[in-house]
Protein backbone atom coordinates (compact mmCIF):
# COMPACT_ATOMS: atom_id res chain seq x y z
CA UNK A 1 0.00 0.00 0.00
CA UNK A 2 1.58 3.28 -1.11
CA UNK A 3 1.55 6.02 1.55
CA UNK A 4 3.84 8.58 -0.08
CA UNK A 5 5.00 9.87 -3.45
CA UNK A 6 8.56 11.16 -3.73
CA UNK A 7 8.96 13.40 -6.75
CA UNK A 8 12.12 14.20 -8.63
CA UNK A 9 12.28 17.94 -9.41
CA UNK A 10 14.02 18.72 -12.72
CA UNK A 11 11.88 17.34 -15.57
CA UNK A 12 9.09 16.09 -13.29
CA UNK A 13 7.81 19.12 -11.37
CA UNK A 14 9.05 21.66 -13.93
CA UNK A 15 11.04 21.94 -17.15
CA UNK A 16 14.32 22.99 -15.50
CA UNK A 17 15.86 19.92 -17.20
CA UNK A 18 15.79 22.09 -20.36
CA UNK A 19 17.64 24.89 -18.54
CA UNK A 20 20.28 22.38 -17.35
CA UNK A 21 20.67 21.36 -21.02
CA UNK A 22 21.03 24.95 -22.21
CA UNK A 23 23.54 25.82 -19.46
CA UNK A 24 25.72 22.74 -20.09
CA UNK A 25 25.56 23.35 -23.85
CA UNK A 26 26.70 26.96 -23.42
CA UNK A 27 29.62 25.86 -21.23
CA UNK A 28 30.58 22.93 -23.50
CA UNK A 29 30.51 25.06 -26.64
CA UNK A 30 32.67 27.73 -24.93
CA UNK A 31 35.18 24.95 -24.26
CA UNK A 32 35.01 23.86 -27.93
CA UNK A 33 33.07 20.67 -27.12
CA UNK A 34 29.97 19.18 -28.71
CA UNK A 35 26.94 18.73 -26.46
CA UNK A 36 24.04 16.65 -27.77
CA UNK A 37 20.57 15.87 -26.41
CA UNK A 38 21.72 12.25 -26.03
CA UNK A 39 24.61 13.36 -23.85
CA UNK A 40 22.23 15.56 -21.87
CA UNK A 41 20.04 12.52 -21.14
CA UNK A 42 23.05 10.91 -19.43
CA UNK A 43 23.19 13.88 -17.02
CA UNK A 44 19.61 13.48 -15.79
CA UNK A 45 19.54 12.88 -12.05
CA UNK A 46 23.28 12.98 -11.44
CA UNK A 47 25.21 15.60 -9.50
CA UNK A 48 26.73 18.76 -10.96
CA UNK A 49 30.33 17.50 -10.61
CA UNK A 50 29.53 14.05 -12.03
CA UNK A 51 27.74 15.79 -14.92
CA UNK A 52 30.83 17.91 -15.61
CA UNK A 53 32.98 14.77 -15.96
CA UNK A 54 30.62 13.53 -18.70
CA UNK A 55 30.59 16.95 -20.42
CA UNK A 56 34.42 16.92 -20.47
CA UNK A 57 34.72 13.29 -21.73
CA UNK A 58 35.94 14.31 -25.21
CA UNK A 59 38.13 17.17 -24.01
CA UNK A 60 41.82 16.99 -24.95
CA UNK A 61 42.60 19.26 -21.99
CA UNK A 62 43.27 17.80 -18.54
CA UNK A 63 41.56 20.14 -16.09
CA UNK A 64 42.77 20.32 -12.48
CA UNK A 65 40.35 19.67 -9.61
CA UNK A 66 40.29 23.43 -8.93
CA UNK A 67 39.55 24.26 -12.59
CA UNK A 68 36.72 21.72 -12.56
CA UNK A 69 35.17 23.40 -9.53
CA UNK A 70 35.37 26.73 -11.42
CA UNK A 71 33.75 25.18 -14.52
CA UNK A 72 30.92 23.68 -12.44
CA UNK A 73 30.37 27.06 -10.79
CA UNK A 74 30.34 28.73 -14.20
CA UNK A 75 27.65 26.31 -15.41
CA UNK A 76 25.64 26.93 -12.25
CA UNK A 77 25.85 30.72 -12.79
CA UNK A 78 24.51 30.32 -16.35
CA UNK A 79 21.79 28.00 -15.04
CA UNK A 80 20.80 30.33 -12.21
CA UNK A 81 20.38 33.22 -14.69
CA UNK A 82 17.91 31.05 -16.62
CA UNK A 83 16.08 30.24 -13.36
CA UNK A 84 15.14 33.94 -13.08
CA UNK A 85 12.56 33.23 -15.83
CA UNK A 86 10.65 30.69 -13.70
CA UNK A 87 7.18 31.55 -12.42
CA UNK A 88 4.33 29.52 -10.88
CA UNK A 89 2.88 28.92 -14.39
CA UNK A 90 6.05 26.97 -15.26
CA UNK A 91 5.14 23.93 -13.16
CA UNK A 92 4.46 21.08 -15.61
CA UNK A 93 0.80 20.62 -16.63
CA UNK A 94 -1.37 18.90 -13.95
CA UNK A 95 1.43 19.06 -11.33
CA UNK A 96 -0.04 21.62 -8.87
CA UNK A 97 -3.54 20.07 -9.04
CA UNK A 98 -2.18 16.53 -8.68
CA UNK A 99 -0.04 17.45 -5.66
CA UNK A 100 -3.05 19.07 -4.03
CA UNK A 101 -5.31 16.09 -4.81
CA UNK A 102 -2.75 13.62 -3.38
CA UNK A 103 -2.62 15.60 -0.13
CA UNK A 104 -6.41 15.69 0.03
CA UNK A 105 -6.29 11.88 -0.10
CA UNK A 106 -3.96 11.88 2.93
CA UNK A 107 -1.01 10.84 0.82
CA UNK A 108 2.37 12.25 1.91
CA UNK A 109 4.35 14.03 -0.79
CA UNK A 110 8.07 14.77 -0.89
CA UNK A 111 10.86 15.89 -3.19
CA UNK A 112 13.93 13.73 -3.81
CA UNK A 113 16.28 15.70 -6.06
CA UNK A 114 20.05 15.81 -6.61
CA UNK A 115 19.84 19.58 -7.17
CA UNK A 116 21.24 22.12 -4.73
CA UNK A 117 18.92 24.68 -6.36
CA UNK A 118 15.79 22.75 -5.30
CA UNK A 119 14.40 25.12 -2.66
CA UNK A 120 15.03 28.19 -4.81
CA UNK A 121 13.15 26.60 -7.73
CA UNK A 122 10.23 25.41 -5.56
CA UNK A 123 9.98 28.92 -4.09
CA UNK A 124 9.79 30.45 -7.58
CA UNK A 125 7.06 27.92 -8.51
CA UNK A 126 5.16 28.73 -5.30
CA UNK A 127 5.35 25.03 -4.37
CA UNK A 128 7.77 25.18 -1.44
CA UNK A 129 5.15 24.70 1.27
CA UNK A 130 3.02 21.99 -0.32
CA UNK A 131 5.58 19.21 0.32
CA UNK A 132 5.76 17.27 3.61
CA UNK A 133 9.51 16.80 3.15
CA UNK A 134 12.31 17.92 0.84
CA UNK A 135 15.50 15.92 0.33
CA UNK A 136 17.93 17.56 -2.09
CA UNK A 137 21.54 17.88 -3.20
CA UNK A 138 22.46 19.54 0.09
CA UNK A 139 21.36 16.46 2.10
CA UNK A 140 23.39 13.84 0.26
CA UNK A 141 26.94 12.82 -0.61
CA UNK A 142 26.05 10.30 -3.35
CA UNK A 143 23.72 11.23 -6.21
CA UNK A 144 21.36 8.94 -8.15
CA UNK A 145 21.58 6.03 -9.07
CA UNK A 146 22.55 5.74 -5.38
CA UNK A 147 19.32 5.51 -3.30
CA UNK A 148 20.55 8.02 -0.67
CA UNK A 149 18.27 10.93 -1.63
CA UNK A 150 15.11 8.77 -1.65
CA UNK A 151 15.99 7.07 1.64
CA UNK A 152 16.63 10.52 3.08
CA UNK A 153 13.17 11.69 1.88
CA UNK A 154 11.48 8.59 3.36
CA UNK A 155 13.35 9.19 6.64
CA UNK A 156 12.16 12.81 6.73
CA UNK A 157 8.60 11.56 6.17
CA UNK A 158 9.06 8.95 8.92
CA UNK A 159 8.07 6.17 6.51
CA UNK A 160 9.56 2.84 5.48
CA UNK A 161 10.87 2.73 1.87
CA UNK A 162 8.41 -0.03 0.94
CA UNK A 163 5.40 2.31 1.22
CA UNK A 164 6.99 5.00 -0.98
CA UNK A 165 6.64 5.49 -4.74
CA UNK A 166 9.15 7.58 -6.71
CA UNK A 167 8.22 9.66 -9.77
CA UNK A 168 11.21 10.14 -12.07
CA UNK A 169 12.28 11.30 -15.56
CA UNK A 170 15.82 9.91 -15.15
CA UNK A 171 16.89 6.34 -15.65
CA UNK A 172 19.43 6.97 -12.84
CA UNK A 173 16.44 7.87 -10.65
CA UNK A 174 14.58 4.67 -11.55
CA UNK A 175 17.70 2.69 -10.56
CA UNK A 176 17.91 4.68 -7.32
CA UNK A 177 14.24 4.05 -6.49
CA UNK A 178 14.61 0.30 -7.04
CA UNK A 179 17.82 0.24 -4.95
CA UNK A 180 15.86 2.01 -2.18
CA UNK A 181 13.15 -0.68 -2.32
CA UNK A 182 10.50 1.75 -3.62
CA UNK A 183 7.96 1.61 -6.44
CA UNK A 184 9.56 3.30 -9.49
CA UNK A 185 7.23 5.35 -11.70
CA UNK A 186 8.67 6.74 -14.93
CA UNK A 187 7.42 10.07 -16.23
CA UNK A 188 9.21 11.26 -19.40
CA UNK A 189 12.94 11.58 -20.03
CA UNK A 190 15.06 8.46 -20.39
CA UNK A 191 13.15 6.90 -17.45
CA UNK A 192 10.21 6.16 -19.75
CA UNK A 193 12.25 3.60 -21.71
CA UNK A 194 13.95 2.05 -18.66
CA UNK A 195 12.83 -1.60 -18.37
CA UNK A 196 13.30 -1.42 -14.57
CA UNK A 197 10.43 1.08 -14.18
CA UNK A 198 7.43 -0.50 -12.42
CA UNK A 199 4.98 1.84 -14.16
CA UNK A 200 5.13 4.48 -16.88
CA UNK A 201 2.84 7.50 -16.82
CA UNK A 202 2.40 10.25 -19.40
CA UNK A 203 0.32 12.62 -17.23
CA UNK A 204 0.81 13.38 -13.50
CA UNK A 205 -2.95 12.96 -12.82
CA UNK A 206 -2.50 9.23 -13.57
CA UNK A 207 -0.92 9.02 -10.10
CA UNK A 208 -4.39 9.52 -8.63
CA UNK A 209 -5.54 6.24 -10.14
CA UNK A 210 -2.74 4.12 -8.62
C1 LIG B 1 19.28 16.89 -11.06
C2 LIG B 1 19.37 17.09 -12.54
O3 LIG B 1 17.96 17.04 -10.65
O4 LIG B 1 20.10 17.82 -10.36
C5 LIG B 1 20.84 17.02 -12.97
O6 LIG B 1 18.63 16.10 -13.22
C7 LIG B 1 21.64 18.04 -12.19
O8 LIG B 1 20.91 17.27 -14.37
C9 LIG B 1 21.49 17.77 -10.70
O10 LIG B 1 23.03 17.93 -12.54
C11 LIG B 1 22.24 18.80 -9.84
O12 LIG B 1 21.63 20.04 -9.98
P13 LIG B 1 22.23 21.43 -9.46
O14 LIG B 1 21.06 22.38 -9.60
O15 LIG B 1 22.66 21.24 -8.04
O16 LIG B 1 23.38 21.76 -10.36
MG1 LIG C 1 14.89 14.81 -13.33
Q: Per-residue pLDDT tens for 85-138?
A: 999 999 999 999 999 999 999 999 999 999 999 999 999 999 999 999 999 999
Percent of the chain with pLDDT strictly greater than 90: 99
State residue 131's pLDDT score. 98
Query: What phi-psi label fits residue 168: left (phi over 0), alpha (psi between -120 and 50 degrees) or beta?
Result: beta
State residue 197's pLDDT score. 98
Q: In what order do the strands lie in the sheet with 108-112?
A: 133-135, 108-112, 4-7, 164-168, 183-187, 199-201
State how far the Cα of 171 lies from the Cα of 194, in Å rounded to an integer.
Answer: 6
Q: Give residue 57's pLDDT band: very low, low, confident or very high (50, 70, 90).
A: very high
Ligand 1 atom with the smallest distance to the CA of 169 is: 6
Task: Tell me the mean pLDDT in the region 31-41.
Answer: 95
Nearest CA to ligand 1 atom 2: 45
State residue 81's pLDDT score. 98
41 has catalytic annotation: no
Q: What is the pTM of this model?
A: 0.96
40 CB within 6 A, ligand 1? no
175 CB within 6 A, ligand 1? no
Task: Tell me the mean pLDDT in the region 18-22.
Answer: 97
10 has catalytic annotation: yes
Nearest partner of 168 among 9, 62, 30, judged by Cα: 9
137 CB within 6 A, ligand 1? yes
pLDDT 10s digits, 137-185: 999 999 999 999 999 999 999 999 999 999 999 999 999 999 999 999 9
Amino acid sequence: MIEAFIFDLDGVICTTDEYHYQAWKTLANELGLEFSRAKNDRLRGISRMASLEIVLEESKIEYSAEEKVDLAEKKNAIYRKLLCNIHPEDALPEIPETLKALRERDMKIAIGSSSKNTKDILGRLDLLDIFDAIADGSDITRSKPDPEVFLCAAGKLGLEPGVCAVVEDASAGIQAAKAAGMLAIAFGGDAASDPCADKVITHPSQLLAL
